[in-house]
Amino acid sequence: MSFAEFLPQLLPILILLGLVLAVIGALRRILLWRQGQESTIHWAGLFSIPQRYLVDLHHVVASDKYISNTHVATAGGFVLTALLVILIYLFDVATNILNYALLASSGLMFVGAVFVLMRRINPPPNLSLGPWSRLPYSLLIFSSSFFVLTLPASGLLPIDSGSWLLAILLVVGIIWGVGEMFFGLTWGGPMKHAFAGALHLGLHRRQDRFGGGRSTGLISIDLEKDKLGVEKPEDFKWSQLLSFDACVECGRCEKACPAFAAGQPLNPKKIIQDMVVGMAGGNTAKFAGSAYPGVELGSHKGGAVIPIVDVLLEANTLWSCTTCRACVQECPMMIEHVDAIVDMRRFETMEKGKTPGKGAEVLDNLNTTDNPNGHAPSSRMNWAADQNLAVFGSDVDRADVLLWIGDAAFDMRNQRTLRAMITLLRAAKVDFAVLGDCECDSGDLARRLGDEATFQRLAKTNIATMSQFEFKHIVTADPHAFHCLKNEYADFGGHYDVYHHTGFFADLVKNGKIKLNTNNAISLTYHDPCYLGRYNGEYDAPRYLLEAMGINVKEMERSKSKSRCCGGGGGAAVTDIPGKQRIPDMRMDDANSTGAEIVAVACPGCSQMLEGVVEPRPQVKDIAELMLDALCEEVV
């Protein structure tokens, strides 16, 4: 039997076998995901997979043009090649047009695979090795085998039909390629991400993230019906288990994580891979990426019904997270690392009562005094004794603006920011009032520490208080309160028009209600708060205000959506997990590299963290304080 007779008989068998095994593997994988808890199935999202892949996924990947172009060529070439291979060699739908199309698609895939190989020759430290190191060779073999195989059929290059050596090489290449690209698509190996990733994009539990949307509020749990957090992998929603399988181990999250950079025992990429181990069973010894700093690689194991903490990972790994959301934003597969971490924290806090550092003390204070530091609730307005503020309930029942004070009321440093805001509001003749001693903590800290019960109590209390009064807007200087009030209170009936103070003041300046001096030769850089920037997409208003004061902002290398966390979010300031260095020190180094004399901030938490850096360092000032300094005298 000649080469020309042998391959046409063997090829359909190989392709069909690969596809059958892929279907079996897919069913097996689906059973693993279905170990999780019930979750809404967004069937309509499956029809949006192509758009979400081409637009939303590549919006993330596009920040690295090399990888973006490589992925388009490789993935696009593979999809087209796989479809054409099935049509031509399995269903025998052979035409010159299809043959030429297969040559073009496999050629495109080959070019993309070459660039994948070049990146793997000297890989950056955030890339996983292991099975991923063989991926470029599998891509090259799959694409080149079908390219060569199709040449005679297209009539472009005749091949000796008696060449058994070539036949054997092609068969070996096709077996390897089909095995990795089809069989490996669902059974394991680097191509697993393509199957799980496509379904994850379609069935994502946060459908609002697509099409340029933003969904950053933590998802509430029913305290009476749901388990209080995640103890075991099977406690995650099935859609979360699916999302863990979608990880491509690119390490973009690892590279962006401030805790990992600081040497704390957290690597967001590894935590997702650990959850895959927990879902499927086994140990962590095969992980071929960076370990958690200070934690031995391969010393943990897991299973769907085995507790996660202290078995699959250490508790300090969860508590190192600042919830800055840098990992989530950098993930091309749109995996929700923060959701998973907080879910596990909820069990640690509410079921086991294990919150490290001063976390337990802070939660006790929130439950007894409605503020994290245990101050008497009746002392919330002591700082404003000389401000003659209108208070809802005792002075007025309605105002245009509710000024949300937050826990800056108990901090002398941030009281300066509040005083500056009050002066600016009065200069603009804004009708505003405060809740006074009736205001409780927004609940942000409790929720990020996993105490969902305390968060919900505080949220419902504040909503009940605010429902007694009439106002158009809420304005606050605290991005964490801003985020809770805007994005997380709605689950409990609290729907408000919420402004961060920079956004509100930017509108006042644009409308001529506030006039600022523009002759400021200040050497300044601006630090983007995570909960204002990445969580809520506000990067322009603070910079507009600084420019309106005539200030030329010296941007840090890591700014706007790439901004490094100050280290204070997610309760990290109170859990205080040790590392090789402090995150605020790293952020101040970023500021020092600009040569600026002032770091402008827009968050009381950022003020505290950055001012805690040992001098000499730049001065830290809130934008409201800078505005007060630049306020035209005739309007004061």
Cα–Cα distance measured from residue 492 to residue 528, given in angstroms and rounded to the nearest whole number: 29
pLDDT tens, residue by residue, 56-76: 999 999 888 888 899 999 999
Residue-by-residue DSSP string for 500-540: EHHHHHHHHHHTTSS-B-------EEEPPPTTTTTTT---H
CATH code for the part of the protein at 226-351 = 1.10.1060
Percent of the chain clearing pLDDT 90 (strictly above)? 87
SS (H, E, C) 417-430: HHHHHHHHHHHCCC
- Quickly tell me which residue has 């995901």 as its tokens: 33
What is the residue type of 625?
E
- Helix, strand, coil shares of the chain, percent, nearest 5, are 55, 5, 35
pLDDT tens, residue by residue, 374-386: 999 999 999 999 9
pLDDT value for 519: 82
Percent of the chain clearing pLDDT 70 (strictly above)? 97
Average pLDDT of the chain, as a whole number: 94
pLDDT tens, residue by residue, 264-312: 999 999 999 999 999 999 999 999 999 999 998 888 999 999 999 999 9
Order of strands, sheet of 432-433, starting from the edge strand that comes earlier in the sequence: 432-433, 401-404, 473-476, 498-500
Per-residue pLDDT averaged across 556-561, rounded? 96
Q: Which of 188-192, 313-317, 514-518 is least confident?
A: 188-192
Buried b (16+ CB within 10 A) or exposed e, 476-509: bbbbbbbbbbbbbbeeeebebebbbbbbbbbebb
CB 229 within 8 A of CB 348: yes
- Quickly tell me which residue has 């990445």 as its tokens: 534
Q: May I ask the CATH architecture of the domain 508-635? A: 3-Layer(aba) Sandwich (3.40)
Buried b (16+ CB within 10 A) or exposed e, 604-632: bbbbbbbbbbeeebbebbbbbbbbbebbe
- pLDDT band of residue 162 (cuts 50, 70, 90) is low
Which residue, 324, 118, 346, is CA-closest to 227? 346
- pLDDT band of residue 527 (cuts 50, 70, 90) is very high
Per-residue pLDDT averaged across 439-466, rounded? 98
Cα–Cα distance measured from residue 267 to residue 254, given in angstroms and rounded to the nearest whole number: 6
pLDDT value for 64: 85
Cα–Cα distance measured from residue 335 to residue 630, given in angstroms and rounded to the nearest whole number: 43
Which residue, 262, 256, 253, 356, is CA-closest to 567? 262
Three-class SS state of 322 = coil
pLDDT value for 587: 98
Hey, where are the domains in the chain?
Answer: 3-203, 226-351, 370-485, 508-635
Residue-by-residue DSSP string for 12-37: HHHHHHHHHHHHHHHHHHHHHHTTSB
CA distance to 233, 276, 328, 345, 353, per residue, from 254 (Å): 22, 17, 11, 20, 29
CB 42 within 8 A of CB 203: yes
Cα–Cα distance measured from residue 479 to residue 334, given in angstroms and rounded to the nearest whole number: 23
Identical fold at 226-351 and 508-635? no
Residue 157 makes CB contacts below 8 A (sequence gap 6+) with: 151
pLDDT tens, residue by residue, 16-45: 999 999 999 999 999 999 999 999 999 999
- pLDDT band of residue 4 (cuts 50, 70, 90) is low
Provide the token pair at 535: 């969580």
Which residue, 530, 532, 488, 500, is CA-closest to 417? 500
Which residue, 507, 583, 510, 594, is CA-closest to 559? 594
Cα–Cα distance measured from residue 422 to residue 14, given in angstroms and rounded to the nearest whole number: 74
pLDDT tens, residue by residue, 38-61: 999 999 999 999 999 999 999 999
Backbone angles phi, psi at 18, to 5 degrees: -60, -40
pLDDT tens, residue by residue, 567-604: 999 999 999 999 999 999 999 999 999 999 999 999 99
pLDDT tens, residue by residue, 220-232: 999 999 999 999 9
Instruction: Please give the residue that has the higher pLDDT: either 169 or 329.
Output: 329
pLDDT value for 636: 46
pLDDT value for 3: 56
Provide the token pair at 124: 């950056």
State yes or no: cis peptide before 123, omega within 30 of 0.
no
